């Protein structure tokens, strides 16, 4: 058995969960925050048999878009008269960041 940990954009999550549950996958949704942007995102925990991992990844791929987001630079540039001016930079977020982890034991009590 595997645990799929998928970090996705909040805007993609409703369609994604609908498609996963339609295919009878069990999902737990966590509200999380990205360390770099410090903006909200969503982490899904999906426990599946090994032969279903590719299907779950396919569903995630079909539902998660890549987006460009602006962020203020954490290291400001030096302006006139030694004043530090933060500047905006663009980062590409997603579609999804996925980790697939081996599960040693799975219990439901």
**What is the binding site for ligand 2BA (CB under 6 A)?**
7, 34-37, 41, 91-94, 97
Between 15 and 67, CB nearer to ligand 2BA: 67
Shortest distance, position 75 Cβ to ligand 2BA, whole Å: 11
State in angstroms the smallest separation of the CB of 9 from ligand 2BA: 8
User: Least distance (Å) from ligand 2BA to the CB of residue 80?
Assistant: 27
Write down the least CB distance from residue 81 to ligand 2BA, Å: 29
Nearer Cβ to ligand 2BA (36/84): 36
- Output 23 or 65, the one with its CB closest to ligand 2BA: 65
DSSP designation for 76: P
Q: Which is nearer to ligand 2BA, 21 or 73 (CB)?
A: 73
Task: Choose among 22, 11, 97: nearest CA to 60.
Answer: 97
DSSP the chain: -EEEEEEE-GGGHHHHHHHHHHTT--EEEEEEE-TTT--EEEEEEEEE-GGGHHHHHHHHHHH--EEEEEEE-SSPEE-GGG-EE--EEEEEEESEEEEEEE-S-----
């Amino acid at each position: 058995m595997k645990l799929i940990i998928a970090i996705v954009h909040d805007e993609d999550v409703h369609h994604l969960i609908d498609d996963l549950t339609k295919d009878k996958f069990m999902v737990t949704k966590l509200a999380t925050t990205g360390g770099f942007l410090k903006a909200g995102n969503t982490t899904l925990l999906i426990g599946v048999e090994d032969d279903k991992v590719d299907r779950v990844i396919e569903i995630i791929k079909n539902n998660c878009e890549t987006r460009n987001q602006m962020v203020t630079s954490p290291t400001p540039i030096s302006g006139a008269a030694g004043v530090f001016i933060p500047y905006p930079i663009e980062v590409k977020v997603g579609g999804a960041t996925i980790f697939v982890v081996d599960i040693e034991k799975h219990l439901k009590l």
